[in-house]
Amino acid sequence: MIETDSVGIVKRQFYTFAEPPNEMPLESGEKLGPITLAYETYGMLNEQKSNAILIAHALSGDSHVAGYYSQQDKKPGWWDFMIGPGRAIDTNTYFVICTNALAGCQGSTGPSSINPATGNRYNLSFPVVTIGDMVQAQTHLIDHLGIKRLLSVIGGSMGGMQALEWAIEYPDRVVSCIPHATTTRLNAQGIAFHEVGRQAIYADPDWRNGNYLDEGVVPEKGLSVARMLAHITYLSEESMHQKFGRRLREKERYGYDFSLDFEVESYLRHQGASFVQRFDANTYLYITKAIDYFDLQQDYGSLESAFKNVMAKVLVFSFTSDWLFPTAQNKEIVQALQVHRKHVSFVEFDLPYGHDSFLIKNPKQEKLVADFLRCVYDEVK
Amino acid sequence: MIETDSVGIVKRQFYTFAEPPNEMPLESGEKLGPITLAYETYGMLNEQKSNAILIAHALSGDSHVAGYYSQQDKKPGWWDFMIGPGRAIDTNTYFVICTNALAGCQGSTGPSSINPATGNRYNLSFPVVTIGDMVQAQTHLIDHLGIKRLLSVIGGSMGGMQALEWAIEYPDRVVSCIPHATTTRLNAQGIAFHEVGRQAIYADPDWRNGNYLDEGVVPEKGLSVARMLAHITYLSEESMHQKFGRRLREKERYGYDFSLDFEVESYLRHQGASFVQRFDANTYLYITKAIDYFDLQQDYGSLESAFKNVMAKVLVFSFTSDWLFPTAQNKEIVQALQVHRKHVSFVEFDLPYGHDSFLIKNPKQEKLVADFLRCVYDEVK
């Protein structure tokens, strides 16, 4: 039974652009085209086209941010509780867009796509793309939808990097921006965790140097290990303690073998096994690389320079227990914007769920976003 | 050139016990024998046999805690800066013993040993052992050396668990005990990291269900991934930032490929590659399992009960940046001992090097240990 304040049944759409010879230039210097972006929209674009909100997803997300694909669908989109008629991002008022990122594996052009120039899958010949390239691709879709300015760009984690990139690179196209649980550049520890995940994929003989789909196999074990590791970094020590502690899995005493002892082991194995059903190993490599490369300080000389031309009103929020992108890293955004007396607000939520806190239903987060959007919309509508 | 305050050239020794039919009973209910422990000693046992100090190593350590195997040896033992004539653990005064843990891969009986009953390698038929079993094995060596009471049992991380086990299970045989950077039980996050490491090993087709040595292969890739992951947990975000930051490896700009971009990636790959040269994958499984199983609260009903009969004077130290076994977990030892008005001291060092801080030369740590040992030795000699 679909809730009455859900966006209901939704459908994935596709937009293709950058057809040769008009390929899209990438930060690497390479060109890519044609490019297809998979996307979903909810609500109605108003006549002035002033009510469009773009949601950007995190590493393992996709364009299915809200609603259901069918009545039988068991789970809604990944941020469903935030989006719908009467919800924080109110689809009675706003027109919501979410794209699957460039290099993604849920319908957008990525390493598993066929390169029309060769008739073969790209695999590792797909160019390494950046957060900036992902955002540039989104501008093509926004143009296609006839939208000059986005009322807001909203994203957590890698989605937050995209939100920042929009505000910085396209200042006159972004009225407001809500980056959260994010950073202006990945630190050494974050790069290290990504690299171990990539090494786990490379180590799987079924990865076949990236050509696994052509050879009819899938590096499930390697991708699963990468996901299990990453998943630990999305939780917190406290939330894992609360959720699992040292509870044994369907046994009274240790097994004294290597089958399965603890609930947390069972949970992780399940996370790994379900991830490989929905995610592509090469996309995992490309997306982690894009995040590794994100570095506003390097790209603009300093954070102050990066944010100099931002016109958007910015709301940043973070979580006390997020040790992947801790509050201090989110505050760097706030401080750099304040140097230029930009309109910026900041909230830290005291929640125990780690980095994934932003994905967990939280009335305070809902109210914060709802109120912020209402304010910025009141000014432009 | 070997330093004058080094213990100098040392030699690994072996002691075998628990010959059938007198096998050693294990916590699992199984029996194991014969058992060989590899060990090293430095300094001289005094006539009263009152100056013996046992050092217990961490997950990836071994009995080579100090000195060199030859003049050409490039690196000394793993805690060399702490041990030697005039050093904190002064071999002019004390007789120092260090064993390779049961299930280890540096000369002690473990999964890669030959089971004399079958003539074949144990591999996964080796019984799962516990920290308690490791300590029980050490008691046989201590008996063999004619030592009734150890002046001190000293260990960090898994070594700290052994030190606690000694003080709790053999109260009249331990004059003092210095557990550090340790815990009374592994938390869910710790179990989770171990499980991902094990899954990385299982995922390597060269693991061959544990029979790799018989089949002439080594699961290098899986063990390497496990080590890279573990290594991140031994450092801190701050120390990785200081040591590597986002510095590129021998390049001016991103490579836009999957070869190697960042220094931290190169460092991790090196850590993984060198570890597989010296460590055994099955031992990695067994030792992580032993650590997972360590739980004083579960074993004794409560921490207070666990420490009730301790007679040793205890010195606990921890490190501000250790997020694997944080100060709060070390303090639980102190608090439980204080309930019984036991003699316990506690120091937290403000150092940025993460869990591995205890392995890094630090004059304050050296002085703390030296002074504590002098006090306890003054009382018994």
pLDDT above 90: residue B381: no
Whether A248 and A372 map to the same domain: the answer is no
A237 and A322 in a single domain? The answer is: no
Q: How far is B245 from chain A (nearest CA, A)?
A: 5
Q: Is a pLDDT exceeding 90 seen at residue A381? A: no
Instruction: Mark residue A250 as left, alpha or beta (left: phi above 0; alpha: psi -120 to 50; beta: remaining).
Output: left
3-state secondary structure of A38: strand
A7 domain-assigned: no
Same domain, A178 and A248: no
d(CA A353, nearest CA chain B) in Å? 13
In a domain, A3, yes or no: no
The model's pLDDT over B148-173, given as tens digits with 9 standing for 90+, comes to 999 999 999 999 999 999 999 999 99
The residue from A287, A311, A330 where one domain ends is: A287
**Does residue B195 belong to the interface with chain A, where contact is any CB pair within 8 Å?**
yes
Q: Which of A133, A299, A322, A356 is catalytic?
A: A322
- Cβ of B195 within 8 Å of Cβ of A258? The answer is no
Residues B67 and B181 in one domain: yes
d(CA A20, CA B66): 66
Contact in structure between B110 and B286 (CB atoms under 8 Å): yes
State the residue range of the domain holding A261.
191-287
pLDDT of residue A1: 78
Q: Whats the size of chain B, residue-wise?
A: 381
Domain total for chain A? 2
Question: How many angstroms away from the CA of A64 is the closest CA of chain B?
Answer: 29
Smallest CA–CA separation between B132 and chain A, in Å? Answer: 14
Which of A189, A228, A271, A299 is the best substitution to test chain B (most B C-beta atoms within 10 A)?
A189
Residue-level pLDDT at B129: 98
Q: For residue range B205-252, what is the model confidence (pLDDT) as tens digits?
A: 999 999 999 999 999 999 999 999 999 999 999 999 999 999 999 999
* Window B:218-247, CB contacts with A under 8 Å: 221-222, 224-225, 228-229, 232, 235, 237, 240-241, 243-246
**A5 assigned to some structural domain:** no
Provide CB contacts within 8 A for A75, sequence distance 6+: none
Residue B69 shares a structural domain with residue B162? yes
Asked if the Cβ–Cβ distance from B196 to A237 is below 8 Å, we say no
Confidence of residue B67 (pLDDT cuts 50, 70, 90): very high
Helix, strand, or coil here: B380?
helix
Q: Are A348 and A329 in contact (CB under 8 A)?
A: no
Tell me which of B287, B311, B338 is where a domain ends: B287
> pLDDT digits over A62-80, tens only?
999 999 999 999 999 999 9
**Strand B31-32 to strand B24-25: parallel, antiparallel, or no bridges (unpaired)?**
antiparallel
Which CATH number fits the domain that encloses residue B251? Answer: 1.10.1740.110
**Which residues of B are catalytically annotated?**
157, 322, 355
Alpha carbon of B84: minimum distance to chain A alpha carbons (Å): 35
Of the pLDDT bands very low, low, confident and very high (cuts 50, 70, 90), residue B283 is very high
The answer to whether the CB atoms of A188 and B292 lie below 8 A apart is no
**pLDDT greater than 90 at residue B1:** no
Using alpha carbons only, give the angle A166, A168, A169 rounded to the nearest 5 degrees.
70
Residue B43 lies in a domain: yes
Query: Do A71 and A140 belong together in one domain?
Result: yes
Q: Of A257, A287, A317, which one is at a domain's C-terminal end?
A: A287
Contact A338, A331 (CB under 8 A): no
pLDDT in tens, B318-336: 999 999 999 999 999 999 9
A208 part of contact set with chain B, CB < 8 Å: no
Q: Does A253 touch chain B (CB under 8 A)?
A: no
* Residue A217 contacts B where some CB pair is shorter than 8 Å: no
Query: pLDDT (tens digit, 9 = 90+) per residue, A341-374?
Result: 999 999 999 999 999 999 999 999 999 999 999 9
Neighbour-count burial for B32-51, b at 16+ CB within 10 Å, e otherwise: bbbbbbbbbbbbebeeeebb
- Asked whether residue A140 is domain-assigned, the answer is yes
Judge whether B4 lies within some domain. Answer: no
Provide the chain B residues 283-342 that lie in CB contact (below 8 A) with chain A.
Answer: 285, 289, 292-293, 295, 298, 323
- pLDDT value at residue B264: 98
Q: Is A350 noted as a catalytic residue in this protein?
A: no
Q: What is the CATH number of the domain that holds B100?
A: 3.40.50.1820
CA proximity to A123, closest of A39, A230, A217: A217
**Claim to verify: residue B195 and residue B332 sit in the same structural domain:** no
What is the spatial distance between Cα A256 and Cα A146, in angstroms, rounded to a whole number? Answer: 63
- B202 to chain A: closest CA residue: A221
- The predicted model gives A328-350 an average pLDDT of 98
The reply to whether A259 and A307 lie within a common domain is: no
Instruction: Write down the mean pLDDT value for chain B.
Output: 97
Kindly list the residues from chain A whose CB atom is less than 8 angstroms away from the CB atom of residue B198: 258
The residues that bridge with B121 in the sheet, in sequence order, are B114
The Cα of B270 is separated from the nearest Cα of chain A by a number of Å equal to 12
Q: Which of B208, B235, B256, B293 to mutate to test the interface with A (most CBs of A within 10 A)?
A: B256
A149 lies in the same domain as A279: no
Q: What is the pLDDT of residues A173-225, one digit of tens each?
A: 999 999 999 999 999 999 999 999 999 999 999 999 999 999 999 999 999 99
- Check whether residue A24 and residue A143 sit in a common domain: yes
Judgement on whether residues B352 and B273 belong to the same structural domain of the protein = no
Residues B68 and B127 in one domain: yes
Chain B neighbors of A285, CB-CB under 8 A:
258
Minimum-distance CB partner of B225 among A225, A254, A292? A225
Q: Which residue intervals of chain A are DSSP H helices? A: 131-144, 158-169, 188-203, 220-234, 237-243, 263-278, 281-293, 296-300, 303-307, 327-339, 363-380
Q: Is A276 on the interface with B (CB under 8 A)?
A: no
Q: Is residue B6 part of a domain?
A: no
The reply to whether A187 touches chain B by the CB within 8 Å rule is yes
Asked whether residue A4 is assigned to any structural domain, the reply reads no
